[in-house]
Chains A and B, each alone.
Chain A
Amino acid sequence: MAKPSETGMEALHHLKSTDPPALLAPSPTLSQTARTASQHLFSCLKPYAPKSPFDQLLTDGFDAEQIWQQIDLLSQPLLSTLRRQVKHLEKHPEESKIVLKKENEFLDGERKILEEKETKRFDDDVDDDDMDMDMDEFDDEEEEEEGGRRESEKGESEDESGEMVEGKGGEGIEDKFLKIKELEEYLEEDEAREYGLDRKKKKGELKLEEEEEEEEEEEDEEEEDDDDDELDDEYEDAEENARYEDFFGAKKKTVPKRKSSLSNGSDEDSGLNDDGAVEKKGGLSTHEKQLEKLQSEIEQMEKANLEPKTWTMRGEVTAASRPKNSALEVDLDFEHNVRPAPVITEEITASIEDMIKQRIIEGRFDDIQKVSSLPSTAPKEVKQLDENKSKKGLAEVYEEEYIQKTNPAAAPISFSDEQKKEASILFKKLCLKLDALSHFHFAPKPVIEDMSIQANVPALAMEEIAPTAVSDAAMLAPEEVFSGKGDIKEEAEVTQAERKRRRAKKKRKFKAEAVKRMTKKARDNTALLNHNEGE
């Protein structure tokens, strides 16, 4: 470029002169002028940006996005310094007095930008930049730089979307009192000092910074904060001795001015500022404010306690006493006393089947070993007590004992008859079975006559389970029950004559028997006597 600054200025002028509707339609000449204008601006800003990789803005054949990225790379590092400067200006409102007018103009311009909302917003930039540039020419070199910086700040701010940060105090703060560099140094010193001071002052500063940030965003967000105003004043009071004495003697003058500046800055703050001022007059310290906060918290908690508790905090809650499906939202935890059922997966079944197959191959089945009921030792011979009169005389018993003691071989084998009988019966049975197996012709089972006692009682009485059919065929027949002759009579029925007859019969029988016995006795006696005499 031959004269880059001039062509750039011309381009800016040209852009400014175009009608807004014309900007809507894309035209190559307009875009070319826009590119040259932005190049010019870029080169103006370049000296102030220390880390920018581009020496000049490359616009030939570049997309709007790419151009924008280049500008962004340049402008990003400068933003923080701009912000700091703005904050400082806010702390020192007397400096802003000077730029008040310029501010207003600038803000109007910004409002215009907001209202119009064009795709390319360089028009107002051009206006303001022109103004700045004019100012720079009139002022000192330093101020020129500052102005340039301010320009850059402004340009950056308007390039970005909706951020009007620098509108506040970044405009025309050239004063014999305020120099930007001095401002920065002082700020750093102050921060260091403040960290050594009380916590509350630091907090105040923090809150003040917050307030400043909020104020920066006022126009967009329209938020109010009473505390900000209060803290602002409080901060002012605390720092009074340190701050103003160094620079200025005036104290409270700045407060309403500051307020008015704020109100000028934004419409919304004004009403609330008055309200905040009333409370501020009480002069509450941070500690008291904390206490107040705690109190409010306590009140809240007490109120919550008086109310009925939520169902999760109550004891036993049935389904009826809690809202529907509320248990689903709450993460309930309770003990499971049973192990959860194992999820049967393919792997588990496969593993089990493998185990089964392996076992079959090995032949290792966990069969229960049958415990043999045979005792390991021979059963001890239990001598049964014989309750019958012994057939042997005592002499024989002792005789046998003696023989056993002296000559065991000669002793007769003592074998009880019952055991013999049982053994013979078992053997007979066995022989019968073996014969039946070995012979080809049929041998019928031998009939064993067995005596059984027939109880003359119907089957129903003996069994407890009701039989399906009760037959009294097994019962004894009446003639078996009673084998009597003649007419049977009860004792009561018997007549006197009958009784006498019975008695006579008995006597006759007895007499006959007596005679028989006597004769038998006589016979025996004679036999005995004969025997005796014989000897």
Chain B
Amino acid sequence: MQTGEAPASMEVEAIPNGLGIQSGSLPLKPKFEPLKAHEMSDGRVQFRKVSVPPHRYSPLKKAWMEIYTPIYEQMKVDIRMNLKGRKVELKTRSDTPDVSNLQKCADFVHAFMLGFDVVDAIALLRLDELFVESFEIKDVKTLRGEHLSRAIGRLSGKGGKTKFAIENATKTRIVIADTKIHILGSFQNIKIGRDSLCSLILGSPAGKVYSKLRQVAARLAETF
């Protein structure tokens, strides 16, 4: 009945009406300014709390200024150390530019707590696409006693050379804490690093891992 002509007639009707709200037309989209970090969660302040493991206590004390400076000045996030609770607390300020700053700072501090160097962990603050992946040796293969120790030794290599080789080849940073392994880097690189480490855990010799790394590194270099 009114197939083709109905919308046209509707539009024609809507235009002359103008701003008046009528039964047929939709309400206008509201325009809002983006929320500030401060105002988020209904204007309340946001907190992040990062617990400090005991073995990282003294390194934290040594490297406190290096941690504090970039967080407070560049990221515009408040940071303090709760000595009693052994926690690092982060708080947004009124002039925190971005919501994600707080999370980034929390990640940065968390990375430091895992065992990464400040210099390496700073990259988390600067680059968006860096992540930290953690896994355990038992996730890969159940090893017990001497096998576990040997696997850890295999992962590190003599004087840590295998670990450094993987780090340099894949542009990541690796922390081996007993049975826990943490990798810091971009997603692709984390994957490559994880593959190498897993193959080492499963028992392949270091030379094999090196040759694979070389190929991978060459391929990564070619992409530019």
Contact = CB atoms under 8 A, between A and B. Distances in A.
* Binding between chains A and B: yes
Interface of A: 382-383, 385-390, 393-399, 401, 404-405, 528, 531-532
Nearest to B162: A387
Nearest to A404: B224
Interface string B107-145: 000000000010110110011001000000000000000
10 contacts: A385-B165, A385-B213, A387-B165, A389-B164, A390-B167, A390-B168, A395-B119, A395-B123, A397-B171, A528-B65
Contact of B217 (A385, A388, A399, A404): A385
Contacts of B171: 394, 397-398, 401
B154 to A, nearest CB: 15
Residue from A389, A394, A396, A404 with most neighbouring chain B CB atoms (10 Å): A394
Contacts of B122: 393, 395
Contacts of A387: 157, 161-162, 164-165, 168
B127 A395 contact: yes
Contacts of B10: none
Nearest to A388: B164
A393 B117 contact: yes
Contacts of B172: 394
Nearest to B210: A385
B119 A385 contact: no
A382 B117 CA distance: 30
A503 to B, nearest CB: 30
Contacts, number: 66
Nearest to A380: B218
B35 to A, nearest CB: 29
A383 B130 CA distance: 24
Given A385-B217, A387-B168, A394-B119, 7 more contacts: A383-B214, A383-B218, A387-B161, A387-B162, A389-B160, A395-B122, A405-B224
B218 to A, nearest CB: 6
A401 B129 CA distance: 14
Contacts of A397: 171
B57 interface: no
B173 interface: yes
Given A385-B214, A528-B64, A398 B164 contact: no
Nearest to A524: B62
Nearest to A383: B217
A386 B164 CA distance: 7
Contact of B123 (A382, A394, A528): A394
A382 B169 CA distance: 13
A385 B64 CA distance: 33
Given A383-B214, A383-B218, A385-B210, A395 B120 contact: yes
Contacts of B192: none
Contact of B120 (A385, A394, A401): A394
A202 B213 CA distance: 112
B193 interface: no
A404 B162 CA distance: 27
Residue from A396, A398, A399 with most neighbouring chain B CB atoms (10 Å): A398
Interface string B16-39: 000000000000000000000000
A407 to B, nearest CB: 13
Contacts of A386: 164-165, 168
Contacts of A389: 160, 164, 167
Contacts of A385: 165, 168-169, 210, 213-214, 217
A397 B171 CA distance: 7
Nearest to B62: A524
Interface string B154-193: 0001001110110111011100000000001110000000
Contacts of B126: 395, 398-399
Contacts of B185: 394
A387 B214 CA distance: 12
Given A386-B165, A389-B160, A394 B173 contact: yes
Nearest to A391: B119
A398 B123 CA distance: 8
A388 B168 CA distance: 8
B44 interface: no
A393 B214 contact: no
Nearest to B81: A532
Contacts of A401: 171
Contacts of B218: 383
B206 to A, nearest CB: 10
B61 interface: yes
A381 to B, nearest CB: 9
B221 interface: yes
Contacts of B214: 382-383, 385
